Chain A
Amino acid sequence: MTLEIQNLHVRTEDREILHGVDLKVSQGETHALMGPNGSGKSTLANTLMGNPSYEVTEGRILLNGEDLTEAAPDERARAGLFLAFQYPATIPGVSVANFLRMAVNAGREEPIKVKEFGALLRKNVDLLKITGDFTKRYLNEGFSGGEKKRAEILQLAMLQPAFAVLDETDSGLDIDALRIVSDGVNAMRDENRGFLIITHYTRILSYVRPDFVHIMLDGRIVREGGAELADELEAKGYEFVREEVAGSAG
């Protein structure tokens, strides 16, 4: 299976943010999408999931050849796409466990058996070193930044999607939490799953080594390479890329 983004142009009400993005992620691969703030990374993540605030004016999103460009968010989810949000919504009155059960059932014909769900939840709670009454709390209500990120990764682990987009999951995490989240992601990496890790910083990439790195500037992907590109970026910074792009254009 592949997730393919072809010549994607996206606008909000007042301006175009993505100016033709091409990106292809195959199952078994981990890609990093890097770029400074405002370069369009989160717009891409939201557009992939069908956020109604963003309008695709040109280009397509294909999942295994199936055109999802106009699909509703829930159809995309059921087709195998997942987004770990940078700023997830708070869902008052719905416990983490309840929410997870509904999400798991949304992708199934028959509701999951209580015992099976319990076992799956315990396994993933352990994987992410979650303790206390976390799964009984209302989803994201009163959660710290780190708890919210962990809740996102817990959902990822429970839903086991074919393709996962992680939008700035590393930001706001302390080093211990970053390691736990990274370990969780690594445990889910296999030949049946593709990852697109969106990040501003390189630090998560020293825990989750990507196969491919793409650098986004001003709504375009301007450089691509292997994991070593992230190292280069770490050493030289985004300004270096910006100058290089400006130089080659001139």
Chain B
Amino acid sequence: MPASRDSVGAHSAKPSASALVEERRKAALVAYEAEAVPTWRRSGFWTTSLRGLDLDALEPKRYEPGLPELHLGDEEHAALIVQRGASIVHAEVADDRITVMPLEQAVEEHEELVREYFAKRLPHDEGKFAAGTAAFWTGGVFIHVPANVQIEKPIQVVWLIDEPGTAQWAHTLAIVGENSEVKIREFFRAPDFEGQALHSGAFELYALPGAQVDLAHYQDWGRGEVYDLSTRRVEIRRDARVKWVPIHLGGRLTKQTLDIITAEQGSDMKHTGLYFTERDEHLDLFTTDRHEAGHTTGDTVWKGVLTGDSRASYEGLIHILPKAPEVDTYLQTHQMLLSPKARGDAIPSLIVEVDNVKASHGGTVGELDEEQIFYMMTRGMPRAEAVRVLVEGYFEQVVQRLEDPGLEELVRRRIAEKLKGAEDQVREFIGERAEAA
């Protein structure tokens, strides 16, 4: 227990926020050191291994304050906070109704909120990297939106890794007050460098009763060897609603757990994600649509495209707990292979521990439809263009869920670039299939 307990009077018997954070760091360090570097195995061919990662060669890198060039979709924002390596290098708040600051600072200045919410849904002992993040995080991001405000422009959080050799341990805590509306965007960016880096991240969002949160994660780690091992959790309280759009457009190896929890009656979520893997990228996503209370609703759609030698696995679970009747939810996952060497998995699953719910799921893994390609070609479009348009159209349902023209454009442009990069192999693959047909 913290030392402060004995020295402070009965009025503040609770430990300070910073003492809580320090305690957690210590416990997490023990867990981190006790655990070996994990390998994740599933039935079939699937293994996510960190064999290729030289963890000892990585270290937190510190930077002086200053705003780097970002090229985000939205130029306007309610707040912008940027962490580069281990340091928050820029924080500005354009809307004085909200608080956006380094989490380190919030631990000192927002005692009550940090004590109540920090790591509430993020145990420090969920594996080596969750423990590492809990032990080593620096800088960090704290977002607090008070009750009853509508924030039009997005709050933008940027995680940058500039150079190889970087270990970035990240933590974001966001609390959205009752009946408030806000957009939160987190960007994960790196230039194309040679060498390895690690982003080990924790994200937690609490949407308090009646809140409406429009949340997006945009990951594009570039062509460097960036490993991203992260856990993101969203808790939705009574009558609150969260729309969450994670976009995965790059990273050497990504292993993420994305959980969305409808915790109280009337809470509602929409979770719509996409990924595009290329070259030798490896993506392993596990999402849970977890219903802890009855009369909650959910809607999960994930779409992916694989090119090159890439591997992508999406596993999506709907979990309805015993005390959660009258849930109405579904999950769909689609995956499209554009290369003969890519390997993918799209696995929906369902655990229902109560009667009287509506829950359905479905998944497809497939290739482009030759009939659609033929149809578009009869309208004068060459095969490569037909393929491009079909793939872009396939993603469009997800992209439009962003409801943010600037960000939508950014995503569309990156998808078009990636398709252009894969044009030769796609032509070869689709061409071979056409010959065989």
Contacts and interface: CB of A to CB of B under 8 A. Distances in A.
B379 A53 contact: no
A93 interface: yes
B390 A91 contact: yes
A78 interface: yes
Interface in B366-405: 369-372, 374-383, 385-386, 389-390, 392-397
Interface stretch (A15-23, A24-32, A59-67, A68-76): A68-76
Interface string A84-95: 010011111110
Contacts of B393: 91-94, 138
Interface stretch (A34-42, A102-110, A214-222, A241-249): A102-110
A177 to B, nearest CB: 21
A140 to B, nearest CB: 9
A103 B389 contact: no
A72 B379 contact: no
Nearest to B397: A93
Given A53-B437, A93-B394, A73 B378 contact: yes
Nearest to B400: A93
B3 interface: no
Given A72-B383, A91-B393, A93-B393, A49 B370 contact: no
B434 interface: yes
Contacts of A107: 380
Given A52-B437, A93-B397, A155 B392 contact: no
Number of contact residues on A: which range applies? Answer: 20 to 34
B375 A88 contact: yes
Number of contact residues on B: which range applies? Answer: 20 to 34
Contact of A83 (B371, B378, B392, B395): B378
B301 to A, nearest CB: 12
A208 interface: no
A70 to B, nearest CB: 14
Contact of B394 (A53, A78, A88, A92): A92
A63 B380 CA distance: 16
Contacts of B394: 92-93
A76 B434 CA distance: 17
A167 to B, nearest CB: 11
Nearest to B369: A89
Contacts of A92: 393-394, 396-397
B371 A89 contact: yes
A129 B395 CA distance: 31
A77 B380 contact: yes
A51 interface: yes
B437 A93 contact: no
B380 A51 contact: no
B366 to A, nearest CB: 13
Contacts of A155: 379
A99 B393 CA distance: 10
A89 B376 CA distance: 9
A49 to B, nearest CB: 5
Contact of B378 (A77, A94, A102, A138): A77
A154 B392 CA distance: 23
Nearest to A108: B380
B371 A103 contact: no
A5 interface: no
A49 B378 contact: yes
A210 B166 CA distance: 74
Interface of B: 369-372, 374-383, 385-386, 389-390, 392-397, 434, 437
23 contacts: A50-B378, A52-B370, A52-B434, A72-B377, A73-B377, A74-B377, A74-B380, A74-B381, A74-B382, A77-B377, A82-B378, A89-B371, A89-B374, A89-B375, A91-B393, A92-B397, A102-B385, A102-B389, A103-B380, A106-B381, A106-B382, A107-B380, A138-B393
Given A94-B392, A99-B379, A159-B380, 14 more contacts: A51-B374, A52-B370, A74-B386, A77-B378, A88-B375, A89-B369, A89-B376, A91-B389, A92-B396, A93-B394, A93-B397, A103-B379, A106-B380, A106-B381
The 8 A-B pairs of least Cβ separation, nearest first, read A93-B393, A93-B396, A106-B380, A73-B377, A89-B375, A103-B379, A77-B380, A94-B393
